[in-house]
Chains A and B, each alone.
Chain A
Amino acid sequence: MKRNWWKFLCAAFLFFTLIFGLKTPVAPGILLNCNSIIPAYSAPFKLEILGYNTRFLQQKNSFRAWLINWDKNKPVHICANSFSVKDDTHAELSFQPVSVLDSMFFDLAVYNDADGKLYMDHAIYSTDTIRGGMDPMCNVTIKNEKQDHFAFPFRTVLYESIRNLFFHVPMWFSMIALLSWALWNNLVFLRKFDMKNDQRANTAITTAVTFGVLGLITGSIWARITWLEWWGDDVKLNGTAITMLAYLAYLVLRNAIDDEQKRARVTAIYSIFAYVMMIVLIGVLPRLQGTDSLHPGNGGNPGFNQYDLDNTLRPVFYIAVAGWIMLGFWIYSLKLRIQNIKLHHNSQ
């Protein structure tokens, strides 16, 4: 019992990940449900907005909406002169003619007491370059900018699939942890030639391959939702696929050699090669400029940390990572024990 405390911790962490990862709502957000170009010559125009998890109707009295145009880093607010709220997620805003100040882009902000301030960057833009008179400025001071209930951030493209962060990413962490453990055992094996290390490395690699396959599957589902294709043209994706091939080749090599001691030695050497190539494929090549990657932090993209991993995702993500890594080692230890029992059984 004393030795197995981490298994309880692992189960608790994964339970927490499942409950919080799947039950926490995504924060309210807004999308545009109409053309995002302002009609030419700044005629009066209407905007249809689509709320996500919003309560427009419930909070009709505190509902406000305005556009923001940036005039040399100074915001100019243009309030909607009238609006009609259809239901909790649909509203129509109408605006007086606006003139383009410094930027042709207008950000959209919607406020009500329940949802707080909802913001949409570069919501609409104007092709009209005529600079008219001053726009109707309005006072948009509000009490509380953001409601502080616990919710995952609303991101366009990602939406609800942001939860996959707790499943897709930890699979790779878990795989790399297990492969590193296998690498360590391979190195020790080449020093001491103890078959125990070989068995550990082999079991760790088979478990890691399972996690890698799960990572590819969760990634493929995520890619279908966000990038609209099951298997995209992405360096990191193809790099991991090649890594999986290298470790599958390791398993093939294991079956090709009969002598135990020789098999352990040869496969240890091959798996060290495979590990180094994995570091290059996953860690180095995708980070170079000029590669086609859609992953955050790769091919010149900003890292996930910078924008998306906010304070609501962070605690759940870290617990998920710890939980999945521990699960990996749990499965590994069970496999190792089963193998030992089989070995013992055969020798009797």
Chain B
Amino acid sequence: MSVSSQTFSLLKREFLQEQRQKYAFFGVLLFLVSTIFIAKFSFHTIKSIPVWNSLYWVILLFAAVTGAAKSFGAESKGRLLYLYTIADPKAVLLSKMLYNVLLMLVLGFTGMIFYSFLIGFPVQDTPMFLVALFLGSTGLACAFTMISAIASKAGNNFTLMAILGFPVVLPLLLAAIKVSKYAADGLGWAVSMDYMLVLGMMNLVIIALAYLLFPYLWRD
């Protein structure tokens, strides 16, 4: 079986597992919604665009850590070994990454709906903001998938995941915050093109690095 067909069957397995257990997605969604409620109770409405923007990205960052930690952390040692014998490591990584990207996109957009419903939506250039949200959540998901794979090799604790993950996703997050702030200010595409490109390039670099390095990490 080729890597792509393996990836799709493994992705199907992820969804099946999700459907049976239901805790990963709804757990993170609950986390997201309750954080937004806490923000609502403490701020009511946020007038300042930088605060509004960065608060959402911080919430999303923690949701990404919580969500992605499950991708390799939730697998038992035996099941990983079984996967290792039947599948290409690249397919394993790609399926997890794809699943996490979908999870983060759903979380990012539903979270945004809740957030704007409760706290306000002071964005002037909505399409650009959605592009920023798309690129940012994709990057967070890809980076944290790889970090979760690394952390799972080191005893799998959540603290280690945060310590390893934050420095790696910070440049990505900074660029995403910048683009979405420009979008909220309505500064136009020409101004944020540089950051958009950097954001896209960083996504590609993270995916490429993870794709190349994962087979080495996988071996035990």
Which one of A53-61, A160-168, A216-224, A277-285 is at the interface?
A277-285
- Name the residue of chain B whose CB is nearest to the CB of A291: B178
Instruction: Flag if A288 contacts B194 (CB, 8 Å).
Output: yes
Instruction: Given A256-B155, A262-B153, answer yes or no on A280-B198 (Cβ-Cβ < 8 Å).
Output: yes
Residue-by-residue, is B144-185 near A (CB-CB < 8 Å gives 1, otherwise 0)?
A: 001000100111010010011011101100110010000000
Residues on B with beta carbons closer than 8 Å to the beta carbon of A257: 153-155
Which single member of A190, A246, A268, A288 contacts B168 (CB below 8 Å)? A246
Instruction: Given A190-B216, A270-B150, A272-B213, answer yes or no on A253-B160 (Cβ-Cβ < 8 Å).
Output: yes
Q: In whole Å, how far is A269's beta carbon from the nearest beta carbon of chain B? A: 5
- Name the residue of chain B whose CB is nearest to the CB of A258: B155
Interface residues of A (CB under 8 A from B): 190, 239, 242-243, 245-246, 249, 252-253, 256-257, 262, 265-266, 268-270, 272-274, 276-277, 280-281, 284-285, 288-290
Question: What's the Cα separation between A239 and B171 when bound, in Å?
Answer: 8
Residues on A with beta carbons closer than 8 Å to the beta carbon of B155: 256-257
B205 contacts A by Cβ under 8 Å: yes
Residues on A with beta carbons closer than 8 Å to the beta carbon of B146: 273
B217 contacts A by Cβ under 8 Å: yes
Chain A interface, DSSP helix/strand/loop, else mixed: helix
Instruction: Flag if B174 contacts A270 (CB, 8 Å).
Output: no
Residue-by-residue, is B190-220 near A (CB-CB < 8 Å gives 1, otherwise 0)?
A: 0100110010001001100100010011011
B28-77 at interface with A (beta carbon < 8 Å): none
Closest 6 CB pairs of A and B: A246-B167, A256-B154, A245-B167, A280-B171, A269-B213, A266-B153
Residues on A with beta carbons closer than 8 Å to the beta carbon of B154: 253, 256-257, 266
Question: What's the Cα separation between A42 and B157 when bound, in Å?
Answer: 75
- Name the residue of chain B whose CB is nearest to the CB of A235: B174
- Name the residue of chain A whose CB is nearest to the CB of B166: A245
Instruction: Flag if B216 contacts A277 (CB, 8 Å).
Output: no
Question: What's the Cα separation between A262 and B209 when bound, in Å?
Answer: 19
Instruction: Given A246-B167, A246-B168, A265-B216, answer yes or no on A280-B202 (Cβ-Cβ < 8 Å).
Output: yes
Residues on B with beta carbons closer than 8 Å to the beta carbon of A289: 194
Which single member of B157, B160, B163, B219 contacts A265 (CB below 8 Å)? B219
Instruction: Flag if A249 contacts B164 (CB, 8 Å).
Output: yes
Instruction: Flag if A253 contacts B164 (CB, 8 Å).
Output: yes
Residues on A with beta carbons closer than 8 Å to the beta carbon of B209: 272-273, 276
Question: Which of A253, A272, A273 has the most B CB atoms < 10 Å from its CB?
Answer: A273
Residues on B with beta carbons closer than 8 Å to the beta carbon of A265: 216-217, 219
The interface size bin for chain B is: 20 to 34
Question: What's the Cα separation between A265 and B217 when bound, in Å?
Answer: 7
Q: In whole Å, how far is B161's beta carbon from the nearest beta carbon of chain A? A: 10
Question: What's the Cα separation between A242 and B165 when bound, in Å?
Answer: 11
Known: A252-B164, A266-B150. 9 other contacts (CB 8 A): A190-B213, A262-B220, A265-B216, A265-B217, A266-B153, A273-B206, A277-B170, A285-B174, A290-B178
Which single member of A242, A253, A280 contacts B150 (CB below 8 Å)? A253
Residues on B with beta carbons closer than 8 Å to the beta carbon of A253: 150, 154, 160, 163-164
Which single member of A242, A268, A288 contacts B198 (CB below 8 Å)? A288
Q: In whole Å, how far is A209's beta carbon from the nearest beta carbon of chain B? A: 13
Instruction: Given A285-B174, A285-B175, A288-B195, answer yes or no on A269-B216 (Cβ-Cβ < 8 Å).
Output: yes
Question: What's the Cα separation between A252 and B154 when bound, in Å?
Answer: 10
Q: In whole Å, how far is B37's beta carbon from the nearest beta carbon of chain A? A: 30
Residues on B with beta carbons closer than 8 Å to the beta carbon of A269: 150, 213, 216-217
Question: What's the Cα separation between A257 and B153 when bound, in Å?
Answer: 8
Q: In whole Å, how far is A179's beta carbon from the nearest beta carbon of chain B? A: 14
Which single member of B163, B168, B219 contacts A277 (CB below 8 Å)? B168
Residues on A with beta carbons closer than 8 Å to the beta carbon of B171: 239, 242, 277, 280-281, 285
Question: Which of B153, B175, B213, B220 has the most A CB atoms < 10 Å from its CB?
Answer: B153
Instruction: Given A246-B168, A257-B154, A262-B153, answer yes or no on A285-B217 (Cβ-Cβ < 8 Å).
Output: no
Q: In whole Å, how far is A132's beta carbon from the nearest beta carbon of chain B? A: 45
Residue-by-residue, is B65-94 near A (CB-CB < 8 Å gives 1, otherwise 0)?
A: 000000000000000000000000000000
Residues on A with beta carbons closer than 8 Å to the beta carbon of B170: 242, 277, 281
Q: In whole Å, how far is B53's beta carbon from the nearest beta carbon of chain A? A: 15
Q: In whole Å, how far is A236's beta carbon from the nearest beta carbon of chain B? A: 12
Instruction: Flag if B164 contacts A284 (CB, 8 Å).
Output: no
Q: In whole Å, how far is B192's beta carbon from the nearest beta carbon of chain A? A: 9
Residues on B with beta carbons closer than 8 Å to the beta carbon of A190: 213, 216
Question: Which of B157, B168, B220 has the most A CB atoms < 10 Å from its CB?
Answer: B168
Residues on B with beta carbons closer than 8 Å to the beta carbon of A288: 194-195, 198
Q: In whole Å, how far is B61's beta carbon from the nearest beta carbon of chain A? A: 14
Question: Which of B146, B163, B198, B219 has the most A CB atoms < 10 Å from its CB?
Answer: B163
> What are 8 A-B residue pairs whose CB atoms fall within 8 Å in the complex?
A242-B167, A242-B170, A252-B163, A266-B217, A270-B150, A274-B167, A288-B194, A290-B178
